[in-house]
Structure 1
Amino acid sequence: MPRRSLRARLLVTFGLGAFVLSSLFASLTYVGVHHVLVSDKQLSDLKQSYVDAALVRTTLYTNPPNLASLLDSIESATASNVLVQTHHQWLSRSHFASTNDVSASLIQLVDHGQPAYQTLVVHGQIVFVVGIPIRSVETQFYEVFHLSALENTLGRLLQLLAAGALLTSLVGVAGGQWVARRAVRPLETVSRAAASIAEGELSIRLAVTQADREVQQLTESFNEMVSQLVDRMERDARFASDVSHELRSPLTTLAAAGSVLQQHRHELSSAGQESLDLLMADLSIFQSLVEDLLEMARGDAGAVPLVIETVSAVELVRQCVRSAARRHAIAEPPLELAADIDNPLVSVDRRRFERVITNLTDNAFRYAGGATALRLTLEAGQLAINVDDAGPGISPDERDAVFERFFRGR
């Protein structure tokens, strides 16, 4: 399962963090405001109920027939519903009052002479019911306050808080994108530079800018690492070049001495001639290794420029095969051309191309029983040269390693 990018994780973290914090703040704000507004409203309604109960008591003392008119006046002034009960009978009530708004448990408490209040949901609306006993006239006073207006206000507040939380989350995502861009950009720059270095662009360096301290440290460390890598490679190349140069002189002397011995070969015994053949063969291999080492040192140092020529691929391959056959004193392997190939031209460095084909044919002779055929085919519009040999082939786990220097398969 592929991992998400650092940029995506930063965006998710900032967005989710902003959403959680804003939602928590909105929830705490709503709960706090709800508690304060509802408590204040209930306290105000409770005080109003005691004032209205005192008016009812006075009316019952002085002018009982005027009770219904008083209750309607209270309903108009306070936007509440008023009910009066005596001896378990509803004596009077205001125009819009309903006995269903008062619960049996509240009536029971007030009947026992205890003031009480309840918050109920009646017909989908929240109401605040206050019950007050009027002991002097053996009457119970009930007043019902509707909290729908307060609930509407709290609903609008909740919508505003939700919108604020959403807006804060979007701001968090935008902030996360900005932070991610600043944090990831240096890593992307380092990644591109590292990829270029892996492809051989050893002159690549990161620009040191007035960035954050951590980014400057990363840039300076990266540049220092690349510089040390280049210095190490240059030292290795110089060492290989120096060794090759130092070995060429004694090898030249040995080759000259071997050539003199070859001229007097008939004067040697059979054992001496056999030893001379082994010496000359090993000397030839040693000379080839030194030349290869010197060639690689020059290539690493960039001292061998490419000389591109447009030549016939068939003739160039045939010359290389003929040269290898003469060198190893073997029959020349056949050169097979695909049906769709006539006489293709290739733009190559002739000397290096010949070196590659020669190395392939030499390896086939030394380690795979000799080359049995060379085939030229077209693959995706490119010329493919296949050197077939009599060996068992290269195992799959070694196919990438064959391009490493001096690697030899099992």
Structure 2
Amino acid sequence: MSSLAETAAYDVRAVRADFPILGETVNGHPLIYLDSAATSQKPFVVLDAERMFLEHANAAVHRGAHTLAAEATDTFEDARADVARFVGAAPENIVWTSGATAALNLVAYSIGNVSVGAAHGADAAASPYALHPGDEIVVTEAEHHANLIPWQQLAARTSAVLRHIPVHDDGTLDLDAAADLIGERTRIVAFSHVSNVLGIVNPVAHLVALAKDAGALTVLDACQSAPHLALDLPALGVDLAAFSGHKMLGPYGIGVLYGRSEVLDALPPVLTGGSMVTTVTLDHAEFLPAPQKFEAGTQPVSQAVGLAAAVQYLAGLGMDAVHARERLLERRLRDGLREIPGIRLLGDTADPSVERIGLCAFEVDGVHAHDAGQVLDDHGIAVRVGHHCAQPLHRRFGMTASVRASTSVFTTEAEIDTLLDAVSGVRSFFGVGR
């Protein structure tokens, strides 16, 4: 197995000291946290940033004229600028949401409202994004439910047709099928940057090119790429993208919708109320420009401050270094799992050109995923078990649930080896395969 000693650009021991929860024990064992794809742990700088804001600068943003309110507003907007910089964007391209699910639903409902208006003859600036009966929305077979169900609902509302790009047995997308599917009736192409089950980095440039040739809008689920890859969303060419704070060392309750300015300017708001208007009469309202027009009501201010601290922390490590280290951890994990009898990896391939993040999902022959997870938990190892909000993909591989191990910036080689040792004993623990 490859050693990380010469490839790590940061000291993982120093990084581990930044995460207070890693000092905990579970069932008498030191905690080994391999569930970062579900939710990440938070370093001191994130916890401190949120607490310090609440202790010293807490006030309503964009609403008060007093000094504290002005300071809070500046801090809030500085956080937007920090997060924008992290993904290569401008602040006006960043919309705060409560999470990636909310961001993706915002887009789907906004397009749905445009479509309903167009059906009734409304002359809206967003009319190019309206869906009509028979128009097509293309997703992939590997999507998280948050990037599938909103499009199912939108198709049902507009009488559009939902189509999907299949995956090969090795988990890679069938790009020949994608070329056939994405055509003159395609209006939206929505896909994940990285599969939350397979860990595979999808060919964004290829899919964006197909969508652009068809004149379709591209929507990227970047939840599993933002914590692990250097991101430049404008350079990727996507029209819209979503990611969540809690998966990238940040707080809960904060997410981001990135959008190209012309797209955000054209789409109408979904939630309405205070803080997103210019003029309101009893009969009419005029809205602020993007991103504020999408940010009605009370904002997740301390959470935004915490997320800004998280992206600064990641940037300080260097995202290229983060990915390089986690890529080697993934190989160590995947190679080790291949050697254990009775383990079936989802979407496995020995092709080194397939890029992945540090994530593997697998099935233990003869043992339900939840039972396998319990054995690992008895060893202090936290993994995810279930369908990972990706039932169609599991069904594609003929299973209902799997065990998923996912790494983060603090994961060590020794932790991977401890996991592999524990997994190797699962079947014998249940008397399977003797």
TM-score, reference length from structure 2: 0.19
Of structures 1 and 2, the larger Rg is shown by 1
TM-score, reference length from structure 1: 0.20
